[in-house]
Structure 1
Amino acid sequence: MTENSTVRSVTYDLLRSLQLTTMFGNPGSTEQTFLQEFPDDFHYVLGLQEASVIAMADAFAQVTRRPALVNLHSSAGVGNSLGNLVAAYRGNTPLIITSGQQHRELLIGEPYLGNREAATLPKPWVKWSYEPYRAEDVPEAFLRAYAVALQPPAGPVYLSIPMDDWNQPLDGFTRTRTISDRVAPDIERLRLFADRISASRSPALVFGPEVDRAGGWDAAVALAEKLRATVYGSPLLDRASFPEDHPLFRGPLGMSVKTIGDHLAEHDLVIVIGAEVFRYYPYVPGEYLPAGTKLLHITADPAVAAYARMGDSLLSDTRTAIELLVDLVAEGTGRTSPEPMARPRQLPQTPNNPLTPPEVYSTLSRVKPADAVIVNESTSTMAQQIEWLPTVRSGSFFATASGGIGWGTPAAVGVALGDRANGVSRPVVGLIGDGSFQYSVQGIWTAAQHQLPIVYVVMHNHEYSILKSFAVLEETPGVPGLDLPGIDIASLARGYGCRAVEVETTEALEKEFTAALDAGTTTVIVVSTQPQTAML
């Protein structure tokens, strides 16, 4: 044992070897024994609320393509984080989440800030949850957490660590190892899939978030073009996996049983790769799978394959499966190419006041740099975003993987920090609804502190438009709490240290967005808009 070697020093050495030197957190008293004398080669990213911390780490891990380390405060901090922990779990993001536990000496007496049933608290939204029985087990618990977080399907894990463990003496931990994060397909079953695809008269490809996460964007394009197949975006996607301006792309598949079933009726075979079958919401009854239509499903997640309502499944890393399929399927030269997606892009001759979301997106389409990345949490206007601001590059669109809101604003921070860690310089555009912005507004403080090149465009329509759209669909009039009067978003943004402006015209939006790109800091542009009925 080296002089003054402790659980803490050994754990930090292990984290260095795993390249886990960026930590996202909001510290509390039970974490200070871990964070004391914080190493100079580690970087601590402070978020002002734990849900924001998780979203930042989530997006950072997605952009850097490696696990992110999170430190929360006991049960209180873990409880605050749960909303966005659901998104990280649904999005298969590898996070290693730690929280402090009270001193072991006090635990039997239910002490203040004790984390009761610590390993149970974050379930079921973590892959593994553990509190070491002995202080000397802490480094090995981190190594197991790292392995579980990375192995497919990737996802968040959780460790609760008593505060007195960190200063216990410990020899160095040397049993480090490497982890596999890809699973190859059963090649014979894949050949059967390829034969069925080649024989299809009118195949449809549905690419989901797993494809882009696995680096399969180019392979997906190659497969679609070889097959001459119609391509749809998977329902409620959180990563785009196919260029949305491609001639074979026909737009989102829809969200309800009826809408999806109607889209699939024109195809004899549907190949879903890297997505659930399907993410449904809301419930509008219809045919899950039309008569005469068959479905093949490829995913790296056994649970996703198991709870699919229909179709024959194959477990595989999606990029690997697609690359193999490109070689195995026959050319689709005999098929008629599908009609391109209709993009009406109709605007009034005289601009509206307030502006409509299509007018906002049309303006942004003229001034948004080609390499900019979009983080979208304007839930009622996502169809308009695809129409006017299609995703055309891998890793350039992010949204929450769960149904909760409050992810997008801090996630934009994580994207920008991930780009910085990767040595990449590109603008980050946060398209955020005014209701969504309030859930995690404190996230912009972190953006301002790090002088991140984020341009938030907040569409201020003074209501929860998405919920009003659901109220119409579900025939539930008179729902309270759907209006949001009296919020001064620009003043809030300035109070957190951001540059903030309010605009009401397309000319002003174009001018301020262009200025924001060169501002060298975070800008919040508040745009007065009309409510938009969501396409459900």
Structure 2
Amino acid sequence: MNDIKTTVHSVTYDLLRSLGLTTVFGNPGSTEQTFLQNFPDDFTYVLALQEASAVAIADGFAQATGRAALVNLHSCAGLGNGIGSLVAAYRGHTPLIVTAGQQHREMVIGDPYLSSPDATTMPKPWVKWAYEPSRAEDVPAAFMRAYAMAVQPPAGPVFLSIPLDDWNHPLEGPAVRRSVSTAYGPDPQRLRHFAERITASRHPALIFGPDVDRAGGWQAAVALAEKLGAAVYGAPLADRASFPEDHPLYQGPLGMSLKTISDRLAGHDLVVVIGAEVFRYYPYVAGDVVPAGTDLLHITDDPSVAGSARVGDSLLGDARLSIEGLTGLVDAGGDRARPQPMERPRKLLATPHSPLTPSEVYAALSRVRPQHVVYVNESTSTMGQHAEWLPTVEPASFYGTPSGGIGWALPATVGVALGLRADGIERPVVALIGDGSFQYSVQGLWTAVQHKLPVVFVAMRNGEYSILKSFAELEHTPGVPGLDLPGLDIVSEARGFGCKSVEVETTEQLEREFTAALQSSDGPVVIVVRTQPEKTEL
């Protein structure tokens, strides 16, 4: 007879172990301590100093590993702190299981301190599923369902609210463990129809969105483009790159408004969008979705994305599987005219500016760019310069925020580095962040320091919310307050968290300090470089 007492706690931890969810990201609170009690030696707890950072670190970890991640937040207050990062995870199709503690079941009726009266409503609409078990016995099954919901396409975050007294409830195990599919193939007949329309096109355009990279479809995208000899464009406001941006067929990013996107697609008789929205816009500049006379085909694994497209015919299916299927069905380009390689002006003045321009900063970084580097970017006003000087040339090498909020990139960079370390992959990780973005989650540096992560943060200090000034000019809204950021001392902030930090003013200093930081084994380094504000083309 087995004399070992099994509880909801022990049964659930065995299930988490079998699912590979042995890293927990969070910031502990009183209602979560029963979950975290007797924390197993084979589990890792990654502490963040604020819940928004905990969610973003888990997001980066899940994206880097390609697996689900587990986040533990503190009741409704901690969940509220984390929702901004939860929006990014939802928009980025990141599989997260987010849990929060609930007060003792016998007290909830009286709405006690730290209770969450509408626990499953609070995180909506930014989770695929939200649940609070009706019985303590249902907690392991709730975790199993949460995992299945998180990883099934379209992947995304889910939420569980768990009363603190559930964990010590007696329960016989083990929990039921199931496996689920993480991809599904497109309808063969409709895929064949799409292939026929692509073959018949004289001037097709391919747009590979971030879900192609997530699905491991980078090489498949290259094969399809090369077989067709078709122009390839970067999806608007993409949070992952899915095609080598130095490839002769690559024509650059589309833009971010109706007019700019439609203008860029002029001359194409067919546009094929795979793994992206149609389209992700930022400013409103009147125009057509696609030029008159241009057809559009859309392939996505997200029914809501297919439903929200304003033009075109859709096909549901995994991005990689769909691309591979199309490649086998389409005819080669034949006498179709191939596009000319994109020109990159890359012009700099002989005498550097002071402060440096963003182009000078990115040009300097391009000269000392290490092999297989991973970039995380949240300098929204300099994304054009990033694309110009630091093109993405291999899979899983670029991460950006898909939500439009800021404060995601610094902790996400920590998560990416942790994920690469967990998988035994040695790649340089570099974050490019604006001074405004840096302030939202600066406490994430502490976690990077504690784990001695070899990460380089380049903070561009232009003293303003530059992208908002460009937007204000576009929208004809003069006199908007709060767009200047005087008095920030990022070097001192970073050092206060135990992080090495330096400030540079010239490209020579930047190249020297960046190279030294990459070679450092002492943990993260923050390099602050003063830059000139520049207007962003919207």
Q: TM-score, normalised by structure 1?
A: 0.99
Distance 1:62 1:489 in 2: 28
Q: State the partner residue of 2:401.
A: 400
- Report the Cα offset of residue 173 of structure 1: 2.7
Kept in 1: contact 2:75–2:101 (CA 8 A): yes
- Report the Cα offset of residue 535 of structure 1: 2.1
Distance 1:289 1:450 in 2: 48
Worse overlay, 243-252 or 172-181: 172-181
Given the alignment of the two structures, is residue 460 of structure 1 paired with residue 500 of structure 2, yes or no? no
Q: TM-score, normalised by structure 2?
A: 0.99
Aligned residues: 536
Q: State the partner residue of 1:203.
A: 204
> Alpha-carbon deviations, 1:300-353, whole Å to 9, x = none?
000000010000000000100001111100010211211222211010110000
SS state at 1:105 partner: coil
Q: State the partner residue of 1:365.
A: 366
Question: Match of 2:122, as an amino acid?
Answer: L
- Report the Cα offset of residue 292 of structure 1: 1.1
Q: State the partner residue of 2:61.
A: 60
- Report the Cα offset of residue 229 of structure 1: 0.4
Kept in 1: contact 2:140–2:175 (CA 8 A): no
Given the alignment of the two structures, is residue 257 of structure 1 paired with residue 258 of structure 2, yes or no? yes
Distance 2:102 2:288 in 1: 50
Distance 1:126 1:442 in 2: 25
Distance 1:111 1:26 in 2: 21
Q: Structure 1: state its 5+ residue gaps.
A: none
SS state at 1:71 partner: strand
Question: Match of 1:319, as an amino acid?
Answer: R
Kept in 2: contact 1:103–1:162 (CA 8 A): yes
Kept in 2: contact 1:427–1:454 (CA 8 A): yes
Question: Match of 1:498, as an amino acid?
Answer: C
Kept in 1: contact 2:411–2:444 (CA 8 A): yes
- Report the Cα offset of residue 177 of structure 1: 1.1
Map 1:136-535 → 2, pairs under 5 A: 136-520=137-521, 521-535=523-537
Kept in 2: contact 1:355–1:530 (CA 8 A): yes
- Report the Cα offset of residue 201 of structure 1: 0.5
Distance 1:229 1:146 in 2: 39
Kept in 2: contact 1:406–1:440 (CA 8 A): yes
SS state at 1:164 partner: helix
SS state at 1:182 partner: coil
Kept in 1: contact 2:218–2:242 (CA 8 A): yes
Map 1:5-16 → 2, pairs under 5 A: 5-16=6-17
> Alpha-carbon deviations, 1:134-157, whole Å to 9, x = none?
000000000000000011101000
Kept in 2: contact 1:50–1:72 (CA 8 A): yes
Kept in 1: contact 2:104–2:165 (CA 8 A): yes
Given the alignment of the two structures, is residue 36 of structure 1 paired with residue 37 of structure 2, yes or no? yes
Kept in 2: contact 1:455–1:513 (CA 8 A): yes
Q: State the partner residue of 1:81.
A: 82
> Alpha-carbon deviations, 1:191-236, whole Å to 9, x = none?
0100100010100000001100000000000000110100000000
Distance 1:80 1:339 in 2: 48
Distance 1:423 1:68 in 2: 17
Worse overlay, 409-418 or 166-175: 166-175
> Alpha-carbon deviations, 1:79-131, whole Å to 9, x = none?
00011100000011000000100001110111000112101010000000000
SS state at 1:458 partner: strand
Distance 2:50 2:173 in 1: 34
Kept in 1: contact 2:59–2:69 (CA 8 A): yes
- Report the Cα offset of residue 174 of structure 1: 3.7
> Alpha-carbon deviations, 1:422-442, whole Å to 9, x = none?
100111000000000000100
- Report the Cα offset of residue 3 of structure 1: 2.0
Q: State the partner residue of 1:107.
A: 108
Distance 2:248 2:529 in 1: 32
Distance 1:321 1:207 in 2: 12
Distance 2:505 2:290 in 1: 45
Distance 2:103 2:343 in 1: 59
Provide the alpha-carbon RMSD of the alignment.
0.7
Q: Structure 2: state its 5+ residue gaps.
A: none
User: Percentage identity across aligned positions?
Assistant: 70
- Report the Cα offset of residue 71 of structure 1: 0.2
SS state at 1:405 partner: coil
Question: Match of 2:177, as an amino acid?
Answer: T
Question: Match of 1:224, as an amino acid?
Answer: A
Question: Match of 2:323, as an amino acid?
Answer: I
